[in-house]
Amino acid sequence: MELQVKPSGSLKGEIRVPGDKSISHRAVMLGALASGTTEIEGFLRADDCFRTVNCMRALGVQIEEGDRKNLIVRGAGLEGLVEPVQVLEAGNSGTTMRLLLGILAGQPVYSVITGDESLRRRPMDRVSIPLREMGARIFGRRQASLAPLTVVGGSLRPITYHSPVASAQVKSAILLAGLFSEGITTVVEPAKSRDHTERMLRAFGARLEEAGLRVSVQGRPRLFGQKVVVPGDISSAAFFLVAGSIVPGSEILLRHVGLNPTRTGILDALSAMGAKIQVLETGETAGELYGDLLVSYSYLKGTTIQGDLIPRLIDEIPVLAVAAAVAQGRTVIKDAAELKVKESNRIRAMVTELGKMGVQIEELPDGMVIEGGRPLQGTILDSYGDHRIAMSLAVAGLVARGETIIKGAESIKISFPDFPRVLKQLQSAR
Ligand SMILES: O=C(O)C1=C[C@@H](OP(=O)(O)O)[C@@H](O)[C@H](O)C1
Ligand SMILES: C=C(OP(=O)(O)O)C(=O)O
């Protein structure tokens, strides 16, 4: 599918972005491992999260559609999963595969998990190494670093693992495996990654201890089903935070956006660039903060994005590159080599495609340098089948001269199927 974007007038109005993807995955998984029923309100109805639902169903968990489109997960309990009779299919979703590997490691059954062409290229040794250390047997190409992966799990021992990467997927896989071991499992990260697993595990009744970059979970807890209200995904909101900042005359109100401090790096980076974003109202649900965001057009300037800020905005870097292309002056993005192992090589993708639009942009081994402020030219662009690249380029198209055509835009359904409609709504409300 191609997405056509024309130069846009101001974007105005009020929107609700879809539910948080990370929280939606975790609610299904923890709901499955708990006893009793978990009701998920605001579950993200997008391909990645449905992959998790289908995998959990294949492991014997009953998941139904409830009233008001809430998802109802009938918990199987920690010991209740069954051996899947088919290959588990994680599709494009790294979160599904890595978190599920942690759960599968704790099951005394034989399972096989695979994914699409993109996911079969992404590194899985970052989870298979610690899970093997805990006693799981995991097989796959290149020493279990590439899917398809086979897992024969059960009887795990607790470990203390110093992760070489700041990755919530690695941390979560180990903590989830830790639930199936006797004793205390600890993960130490090099920088703080998103902590949704920790918050939700606590809400479901697990015992966790946190100190700085170290988090420990007590094995064999009793988990109880919960009502989970999923806030809007700040990673989806990011496209409209940037669009509202760069399209002259715009003012957008984004309702009920998740504001977990491990995810709000985008607000810090855009503020440093001179964006006008007000946080209007905040509340908390099951340990997760949320609020309304009001963004209005403003003059942006370049900035430096690096260090501990990177894990707090890792998925927003493609759209931040678009903001940087419009901003006056130089933006430097460093310490972001992780972007090379996402759904596509997101550094190369943005450098190549923004380059085609006439942006002065240079690739670094761990980031990029953007000289902003030159006019953008609409042209035919490739999304590399990556949802975040497709939507970031669509935002760039709003301020380009002429028409922009984005190829492979069907990837948008991975995390934000409604994106084109929400964009149109803001364009027509003028
Ligand atoms: O745990 C999660 O839900 C996620 C963690 C991040 O990946 P890493 O753990 O690989 O950094 C992020 O990029 C991904 O979109 C979702
Ligand atoms: C990296 C992402 O997701 P995942 O790792 O779950 O595929 C993303 O949504 O940007």
Q: Tokens at residue 415, please?
A: 């995390």
Domain end among 229, 254, 272: 229
> Are 15 and 68 found together in one domain?
no
What ligand 2 atom has the least distance to the C-alpha of 96?
A: 6
CA 195, chain centre distance (Å)? 12
Residues 48, 357, 118, CA angle at the centre, nearest 5°?
25
* 278 and 159, same domain (yes or no): no
Residue 88 pLDDT: 98
Q: What's the rounded Cα separation, in Å, for the pair 308 and 192?
A: 7
Q: Are residues 269 and 406 in the same domain?
A: yes
Q: Which residues contact 423 (CB under 8 A, 6 or more apart)?
A: 11, 243, 394
Percent of the chain with pLDDT over 90: 97
Number of domains in the chain: 2
Distance 222 CA to ligand 1 centre (A): 26
Is the domain of 185 the same as that of 244? no
> How close is the Cα of 108 to the center of ligand 1, in Å?
27
**Active-site residue numbers?**
315
pLDDT computed for residue 136 by the predictor: 98
What is the residue whose two structure tokens read 């003012």?
Answer: 251
| Same-domain pairing of 41 and 113 | yes
Dihedral of alpha carbons 102, 108, 109, 110, sign: positive
Provide the residue range defining the domain that includes 307.
2-19+231-428
Within this chain, do residues 295 and 151 fall inside the same structural domain, yes or no?
A: no
What's the ipTM? Answer: 0.99
Q: Are residues 310 and 259 in the same domain?
A: yes
User: Which amino acid appears at position 185 of this protein?
Assistant: T
Q: Which ligand is nearest to the CA of 115?
A: 2
Tell me the C-alpha distance between 127 and 138, whole Å.
Answer: 10
| 241 shares a domain with 194 | no
Low-confidence ranges of the chain (pLDDT < 70): 430
Domain limit, last residue, from 194, 229, 264: 229
Choosing from 314, 341, 386, 391 the residue with most ligand 1 atoms within 8 A of its CB, the one to mutate for a pocket test is 314
CATH code of the domain containing 89 = 3.65.10.10
- CA-closest candidate to residue 269, choices 217, 327, 212: 327
- Angle among Cα 386, 388, 390 to the nearest 5 degrees reads 70
Q: Are residues 328 and 339 in the same domain?
A: yes
Identify the pLDDT of residue 430.
56
Q: What is the rounded distance in angstroms from the CA atom of residue 233 to the CA atom of residue 24?
A: 10
Whether 213 and 341 share a structural domain = no
Where is the domain boundary, 229, 250, 268? 229
Would you say 315 and 322 are in contact if contact means Cβ atoms under 8 Å apart?
no
Whether residues 275 and 379 share a domain: the answer is yes
Q: Are residues 110 and 199 in the same domain?
A: yes
The answer, yes or no, to whether any atom of ligand 1 lies below 6 A from the CB of 95, is: yes
